[in-house]
Each structure stands twice: as structure tokens, then as C-alpha cells.
Amino acid sequence: MQNITPIRLVDDRLAWYPPSSGDEPHWLDDEQERERLRAVLAQRRGGVCFAVPGAEARLLALPVTAAEKKHIGKSLPFALEEQVAEDIEQLHFAHCTLDNETVGVAVCAREKMSQWQQSLAEFPGVGRWLPEPLLLPWQPGEWCIVVEGDEVIARTGKCEGFSIERELAATLLDAALHEAGAPQTVVVYGAEQEADLALLPEELHARAQWRKGDLHAALLLHEEGAVPLNLLQGDFAVRLPLGRWWRQWRAVAVVFGVAFALQLAAVYVEYRNLSAENLALRTSVQESYRKAFPKGQVVDAEKQLQRQLDAIRGTSQSSGFVSLVERVGAAVAGMPGTSIATMNYNDKADEMRLNIVAADFEGVEKLRSRINEAGLEAVMENSNAQGDQVRARLRVGKRS
């Protein structure tokens, strides 16, 4: 069963071989045939490929090391520079891996590649360009030869073969025989058995199997993907059809872009509103904090205010402001003529400083003693007489 649909150049005319169409080529200068091919390409079926003329593509198997294999794409032209007559800048090199130590290589003129691209411009779905000799069936120990009129197509190895004029075929087959050795079998497709077999070197006659047919008949035995040597590599690699995709999806892209822009604008407006609301809330929190504590830096108003409240309420482990006021107040209450002028509380040190006014120094000392008796520690920092009264400053804290 034919599993590949080739497009060929026959006498400088493009032709293709549709599946189940017989042996005759269908010429692509016919508009109806072009439409049929486009339909096949659109459905991505039939394994359509362009058969690169074997006379224009040189095939060879190149031994490489593991290190060379990593950079083979860049080093290949220079590795073959001495084996080609043309300037390597004018040549196109394609390669594929055959095994761990060998790569298959195809070399052809860049000018020819450009010409073929122009010829196939109407059929952008042709993504594989395979050398014509590699379309022939092959297996180890076998050669396959197709004789078509004045042309001979031969495949002599996994990635070796040629297309040549009939009168020169015998010379090249003889050279291949001396280079690679005699195969076990030579399968020849042609129209005239005696004339076709006469092209073979004498020692291959006994190994030859002649079959009536042409390239189309040989393609029936072609194994898809046997050698993935696609010439569309490097500068000639298939590009994504971005222009066609844009034309197809332009309207959808515009609608999506407008919707995205509107959504982005809505999110931005919401962000601005929330930012303004957050700023107003933070300002309100700081204003409220300042009403309770006018001084000091505000870092986290909620935490700072909570610490202040905890210090004022006091705990079982710490006397706190309330506890100090209660004890000091009880001591002062029992001393008529003694009063507290001012009071300052330090929450970090858990102590307070009192400015008291007493009738005399004895009253100051008596108040200090009463505070000490209440379980606190009162230290007189200074005292002085003011008229007939005494003003003193005490530091009161928990006893250490």
C-alpha cells in the first residue's frame, strides 16, 4: 500500500501521484489538480512530500564522534569543504542521525532550494523535502534501482544513492560496487528487462531481480520515516504561518484585546479606590492614636496601642500603672496635708515619678516610708523648701 504522496519535477514540470491514482503522474499546471492537492494538504493526509531531484542532491553517510555530533549543524559545511567543488557558502547542508556514530547528509545548491521554494509556493503545506533516491525501498544487503526512460534512480545504502542519466548509470553503479562491496540482492524496476539489467556490473547479474514498473511501483514498498532526512533545515526550515494565522484570528484577537483592556481598566480603578480608602483608614487610625498618645513615632498603631493598654491594665506578673496608682494613692490618703502635684508613668521601666507637696521634710520622709511599706520602692531624687511647704520628687517602682 502506498503510504507517501510525492511531488516531483518531471521535465521541469511539477507533477504529483495521488493515492490510488494509478501509475501516471498528475500535472500541477492543471488548476483542477492543484485544487486536489491543496485539499489533501488541508486535510493533512496522504504523506505529501517533495521528491528532491536526485541529480541535484548529493547523499553520503558521514562518520562522526559524540563530540562532533553535538555541533554537527554548524561544523558540517567545514567538515565537507574539501569534498565539494562549489563554495560552501553557495551550498545547503541537511543532516539526520543514522546511528550513534553516523549521520546522513544531503548537499545541494542554495539556488536550487530557492527555485523549488518558488515553484511550491502555492502549496505551503508541503513540509518535507526528501531526496528522490531515499524514496526507494531499502533494507540491509539490498540495492534498489528504478529505470525511467533516460534516467536511473538508485539507492545503494541507508542514506546513499543517486539519480543519473542512463548512459552514465553503469559507471556510477560500478563505482558504488567497488566502494561499498557487492549487495546480496539488486532489485531493478523498469520496462525492458534485458536493457535494464545490462546497466548492472557483470558480477551483479546473478543477484538481480527484475520487476516491471516505475518509481510509483517502487513507492508501494516505501517505509514511511525510514530515513528522516528532510532538506527543510536551517535557513530553509518550515516557518510558522504567522501571517495566515493573524488573518484568521484577527477579529477574535481584537475582541479579546478590547475585553482585556476594559478588564485592566476596571481593575486599575478598583485598585485606586481601595488605595485611597486604605490611606484614609490609616490616617484615621493615626489621628485616633495621637489623641491618646500625642508623642512618639507611630509604626503600628494597633500594636503600640495594645501594648500601652496592657501596661496600664497591669497583669499578675507586673504591677502596672493601676497597681502603682492604687498603692501610692492609699499611702497618700492617710497623710492629711500631703498631696501629689504631678505624676509621670514610664511603662517600659514600670515606674512613676511623683512631685509631692508636704507640710515639712518629715512629711515627705513619712510618705516615702508608707510607700515602701506598701511593697514598693520609693527613692527621693530631690527636695526643696517653698515658703512654709516642702516640694520633693520621688521615683516609685516595684521592689527588686
pLDDT-based confidence at 143, cuts 50/70/90? very high
Distance, CA of 368 to CA of 396 (rounded, Å): 9
Residues 6+ apart with CB under 8 A from 327: 319, 371, 374, 375, 376
Alpha-carbon dihedral sign for residues 61, 66, 72, 78: negative
- Closest by CA to 352, choosing from 343, 361, 360, is 343
Q: Which residues pair with 382 in a beta bridge?
A: 393
Grid cell listed for 376: 514598693
Tell me: the pLDDT tens digits for 358-391? 888 888 888 888 888 888 888 888 888 888 888 8
Distance, CA of 327 to CA of 333 (rounded, Å): 10
Distance between alpha carbon 323 and the CA centroid of its chain, in Å? 67
Strands 142-148 and 185-190: what pairing?
A: parallel
Tell me: the pLDDT tens digits for 98-122? 888 889 999 999 999 999 999 998 8
Q: Model's pTM, two decimal places?
A: 0.59
Contact assessment for residue 328 and residue 352, using Cβ atoms and an 8 Å cutoff: yes
- Average pLDDT value for residue range 225-248: 77
Distance, CA of 355 to CA of 391 (rounded, Å): 7
Grid cell listed for 9: 519535477
Distance, CA of 350 to CA of 331 (rounded, Å): 19
Interior angle at CA 252, CA 248 and CA 255, nearest 5: 150
Q: What are phi and psi of 262, to 5 degrees?
A: -65, -45
Distance, CA of 229 to CA of 210 (rounded, Å): 28
Residues 6+ apart with CB under 8 A from 251: none
Tell me: the pLDDT tens digits for 157-202? 999 999 999 999 999 999 999 888 899 999 999 999 999 999 999 9
Contact assessment for residue 40 and residue 22, using Cβ atoms and an 8 Å cutoff: no
Tell me: the pLDDT tens digits for 65-95? 888 888 888 888 888 888 888 888 999 999 9
Q: Which of 39-43, 265-269, 382-386 has the highest mean pLDDT?
A: 265-269
Residue 396 CB coordination number (10 Å): 24
Residue 214 CB coordination number (10 Å): 18
Residue 149 CB coordination number (10 Å): 11
